[in-house]
Amino acid sequence: MNLTSVNFREATIRDVKELLEIRFSVKENVLNNRALVTEEITADFLTRYGKGWVCEIENQIVGFAIIDVLENNIWALFVRPGFEKKGIGKGLQQIMLDWFFNQSDKTLWLGTAPGTRAEKFYIASGWKDVGRTRHGEIRFEITRDEWMKSKT
């Protein structure tokens, strides 16, 4: 991957259709109920409940991350199939967590399916497994101090 062609930026309403395309294309953490992630809901998370970022390569969005600041939750972090293992998820996570912890000292959490690449990614990034969600996902948490330590 040519690093000069990679661009990280804030997500906008204009990106929503492409974000959903990526979300519905992933091979792990597949969304079984598409009614849970509509254009309207995604737009709300970008404008009312949180903030999002995208990674573009040659003007194509190849990954995105959205944080829910009301629930202190990572609502989404997905990379388009074929672009995994190129540092896109790591870059999006860094931008998102740096932004959040620059304004808050609250603990962040997320849920992901067990036995996935995402599980390994979050463990390697310093997140702590604190149990299971009511849906059987792994519940990960990270504090500001843990995030800062993981970056050194």
The first and second tokens of residue 55, run together, are 């990674």
Pairing between strand 128-132 and 108-112? Answer: unpaired
Place of tokens 């999006």: 92
Share of the chain above pLDDT 70, in %: 91
Mean pLDDT, range 29-41, rounded to an integer: 69
Domain boundaries, the chain: 3-150
For residue 70, the SS3 value is coil
pLDDT tens-digit readout, 75-129: 999 999 999 889 999 999 999 999 999 999 999 999 999 999 999 999 999 999 9
* pLDDT, the chain, mean: 90
Share of the chain above pLDDT 90, in %: 76
Query: Whole-angstrom Cα distance, residue 70 to residue 48?
Result: 9
Global pTM value: 0.91
CB 128 within 8 A of CB 149: no
**What is the b/e burial string over 38-69, where b = at least 16 CB atoms within 10 angstroms of the residue's CB?**
eeeebbebbeebbbbbbbbbeeebbbbbbbbb
Which CATH superfamily does the domain covering 3-150 fall into? Answer: Gcn5-related N-acetyltransferase (GNAT) (3.40.630.30)
